[in-house]
Amino acid sequence: MAGYSPLDDPENASFAWARYRRIMKGMAWFSTVTVAVVLAVLYWLLGFVSIHLFIASALGVWLTIMLMAALMGLVFLSSGTGHDESIEDRLEDERNR
């Protein structure tokens, strides 16, 4: 049977989601700075080749970092709040034999 999740409490949930949003805002700034560095390096190495190269590079780098941050942030949110421990483990009886 599934146990009580700390995320069921509105106060804990609001704190956890506020922390998640703070992480995402920080990662958005980091990602933006990284994109600026990548675009500067591309311009230094290649010169102005095509605007499409710079747009695709910027979007690719920014979205890749943000996707990684979102997924890892959700892992930290789930683990840090104790939500992972509240799941129903259907194999627990087999392991205890």
- What is the per-residue pLDDT across 23-68, written as a single tens digit (0 to 9) for each? 999 999 999 999 999 999 999 998 888 899 999 999 999 999 999 9
pTM over 0.75: no
Residue 11 contacts residue 81 (beta carbons within 8 Å): no
Q: Which residues contact 83 (CB under 8 A, 6 or more apart)?
A: 5, 6, 7, 77
* Separation of alpha carbons 66 and 57, rounded Å: 14
Nearest-Å Rg of the Cα atoms of the chain is: 20
